[in-house]
Structure 1
Amino acid sequence: MKARKAMVRIVGAAMGAGALAWFAIAGGVTDGSVADTTAMKAVADEGPGYAVEDFAYPNADKILAEQHITLKRGDGHILLADCASGTDLIEVYGRTNAERICFKVTGSSGYLALEIPAVFYIKGNSYDAKVDMSAGALQKTFDLTKNDWTPVGETADDQGRKFMLMEIRTTK
């Protein structure tokens, strides 16, 4: 008889626990209040947010403040580099920067929109490269000589106007 009473108590406790669990899952009383199932459904129905790539150059504000170079956007295959970091770099000389500015190219092609004023010479690397430059309303595209210096901007302009470097495009 004692075993039978114990069995009844165990089954009764299990049924009570199961009923409470079902009630809590179904949105019943869990902490003395009625759960808001519509709020739970709305959150559950939402998927994760979407990452949208705007191709903005990382740390562009810091680079502008420290090096006075405006890097706008690109595909990530033309990156600002330390000129002492290696070979096969695109090297840019401008009148407003005291030192040369270098870019490392990776991948089979690259694109970078930027602003470097008064650029007059650019050394190409092993890639086929073109640069777009502007002087006021005048816009010109220059093909860079591979692994050699190319006169651009005022050194290639019969009026000696100062050109701003606006884009670099490369292909392998």
Structure 2
Amino acid sequence: MRTRSFISFALAASAVTGIFLAAAPLAGAEPGAPVAAADELPPVAVEDFAYPGADDIFAERGIRLKSGDGHILLADCAPGTGQVEVWARGMGTFCFETTGNSGFLSLELPRVYAVVGNDYSLQVDMEAEGEASSFDVARNSWTPVGETADPEARDHTLLEIHSTK
């Protein structure tokens, strides 16, 4: 019986303490000042996977980088570094660093005709005149893609690069 009375007393004391604490102003707040509601808190950051600096890169180099997972990144070409090389007619060579176990990059690069692979398994998805096509890129060697692999030699736009270790 004594234990039950103690528990009842403890519960009642907790309830009273909770009421006083709920009514008490926050430290540093003026009495009667409104307290910030939950909807006044700053918004939660949401990752949209947009490629950083994409507009500047497009203006400077003509390649539109859209989004990705951060494991395939445009890089300055450096021979002997294991980069993926993408060759685009009239635009030159674009190099990409690959990291992690897998990667994904969405982009737009017109007139692509060859890709030099690295140690990763690569697949490039392209489009020509509204028709989609995919090419597997040989590891550490040249692979004809786009117009060089198309019997009609149409211009192809590179849309996605996928990598797997």
Superposition TM-score, scaled by structure 1 size = 0.75
Q: Displacement of 1:140 after TM fit?
A: 0.3
Instruction: Give the residue type in structure 2 aligned to 1:27.
Output: E
Say if 1:43 and 1:126 are closer, same or farther in 2 by CA, change over 3 A. Answer: same
Q: In structure 2, list runs of 5 or more residues that go unmatched.
A: 1-24
Separation in 2, partners of 1:26, 1:68: 54
Separation in 1, partners of 2:135, 2:42: 45
Instruction: Tell me if structure 2 keeps the 8 A contact 1:96–1:117.
Output: no
Highest CA radius of gyration, 1 or 2?
1
Equivalent residue for 2:110? 117
Q: In structure 1, list runs of 5 or more residues that go unmatched.
A: 1-21, 29-35
Equivalent residue for 1:144? 137
State percent identity of aligned pairs.
54
Q: Displacement of 1:49 after TM fit?
A: 2.7
RMSD value, Cα = 2.1
Equivalent residue for 2:76? 82
Does 1:72 find its partner at 2:75?
Answer: no
Separation in 2, partners of 1:26, 1:59: 42
1:132-152 deviation digits (Å, cap 9, x = unpaired): 000021100000000000000
Aligned residue pairs, count = 140
Superposition TM-score, scaled by structure 2 size = 0.78
Separation in 2, partners of 1:52, 1:152: 36
1:55-101 deviation digits (Å, cap 9, x = unpaired): 0000001100111110000000000011127511110101130x211
Q: Runs in 1 of length 4+ with deviation above 4 angstroms?
A: 43-48
